[in-house]
């Protein structure tokens, strides 16, 4: 397929069929995996809970550690620097990822709390999304990466978890809360 030309649905279908005929599984990020089965093409929907990670770029290193811990715990973390592709409309992609996430993790630090820009927009959008969910659903999960103030709009309504001084203990609390909520939602 030539670069910089729109790809048609028919071209995608042919590519999918070619890969399946060669015995390859085809994974479509956040959706699931197509495989060749006994009765033809089978689709396994993505089952892992989606976790949106909102953070300031200066905190990337510790948030990358969180991402790895969440992957290892069976979650599907969404982090812009790993999920966005060149040429993608990133504001729309971010809003879509927040809207379809099972959990929104707000990574708070003295840098992110005091910074203007995308992080603040993501917080506001996530808070708006949380309003449409049932009151007992866990969705908005504030996490302090270090000693810092928590914005009053958040601290008045949501309990936060600290990833300091012990990162592992904080992650265990966060993961346990998300697992419990995911199990509750499944019935």
Say how far apart CA 43 and CA 46 lie, in whole Å.
9
DSSP-derived 3-state class of residue 50: strand
Model confidence at 1, pLDDT cuts 50, 70, 90, reads very low
C-alpha count within 13 angstroms, C-beta hemisphere, residue 129 = 22
Domain 50-186, CATH homologous superfamily name and number: Toll/interleukin-1 receptor homology (TIR) domain (3.40.50.10140)
> How many C-beta atoms lie closer than 10 Å to residue 74's C-beta?
13
Give residue-wise pLDDT tens across range 84-123.
988 999 999 999 999 999 999 999 999 999 999 999 999 9
* 32 in Cβ contact with 43 (< 8 Å): yes
Domain boundaries along the sequence of the chain = 9-45, 50-186
Instruction: Say what the pTM is.
Output: 0.79
């Amino acid at each position: 397929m030539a670069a910089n030309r729109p790809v048609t649905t028919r071209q995608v279908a042919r590519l999918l069929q070619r890969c399946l005929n060669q015995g390859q599984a085809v994974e479509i990020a956040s959706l699931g995996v197509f495989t060749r089965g006994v009765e033809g093409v089978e689709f396994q929907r993505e089952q892992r809970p989606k976790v949106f990670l909102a953070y300031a770029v200066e905190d990337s290193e510790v948030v990358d550690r969180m991402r790895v811990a969440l992957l290892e715990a069976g979650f599907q973390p969404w982090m812009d620097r790993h999920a966005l592709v060149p040429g993608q409309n990133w504001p729309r992609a971010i809003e879509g990822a927040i809207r379809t996430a099972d959990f929104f993790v707000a990574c708070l630090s003295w840098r992110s709390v005091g910074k203007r820009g995308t992080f603040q927009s993501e917080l506001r959008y996530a808070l708006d999304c949380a309003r449409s969910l049932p009151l007992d659903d866990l969705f908005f999960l504030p996490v302090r990466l270090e000693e810092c103030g928590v914005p009053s709009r958040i601290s008045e309504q949501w309990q936060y978890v600290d990833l300091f001084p012990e990162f592992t203990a904080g992650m265990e609390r966060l993961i346990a809360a998300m697992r419990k909520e995911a199990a509750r939602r499944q019935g």
